[in-house]
Structure 1
Amino acid sequence: MKEVQSVAQETGKPMSQVAINWIRQNPVAQMIPILGARSAKQLKDNLDAIDWKLTEEQYQRLDTVSQIDLGFPQDMLNGNRYIFGATFDKIDNHRK
């Protein structure tokens, strides 16, 4: 939240727009932010996020502070060549 506030101060935009743009600009997630406006003013504020973008540096800062530790079983599976008895490269790829 602190980093969102910092980027909001840098851009002169509300924190809601910073958060919306962070989601919109995510190249991997391919998400569409769902706007939760209760009033016309909030809806306009949310839609105004379309008129500008975060810089790459701002996006990276927000992305870094939002990372989470996935823990088990991700830690065990990631890069563990023994999951398939060290034979993963010998498994036929039926998706080719």
Structure 2
Amino acid sequence: MRRHETKVRREVAGTRQPEHPTFADRTRIEGQAFHAFWLSGDRVVAGMQVNRWDDRIAPVEELIRGRQSIDPDRLADSSVPLAAHVLV
């Protein structure tokens, strides 16, 4: 029997609470990599990256720290760069 092992690497930032049910994900199925976000209202309160080692967790942390209003549908759109959500 052949055994298949998959390594999953993830980083998490922020704190997700049960009262933060809104969820947005930016999945890239072909690479089994994604960002996931939990929102309180229209603000990102927690996020996770799985197998995304190009930009790591930094963009997620910036969204949490920025406490800015985010459109969950746009956040879930992987064609929009995460940096486009961060106001400077």
TM-score if structure 2 supplies the norm length? Answer: 0.23
Greater strand fraction, Structure 1 or Structure 2: 2
Greater helix fraction, Structure 1 or Structure 2: 1
> Which structure has the larger Rg over C-alpha atoms?
1
Higher relative contact order (CA 8 A, sep 6+): 2
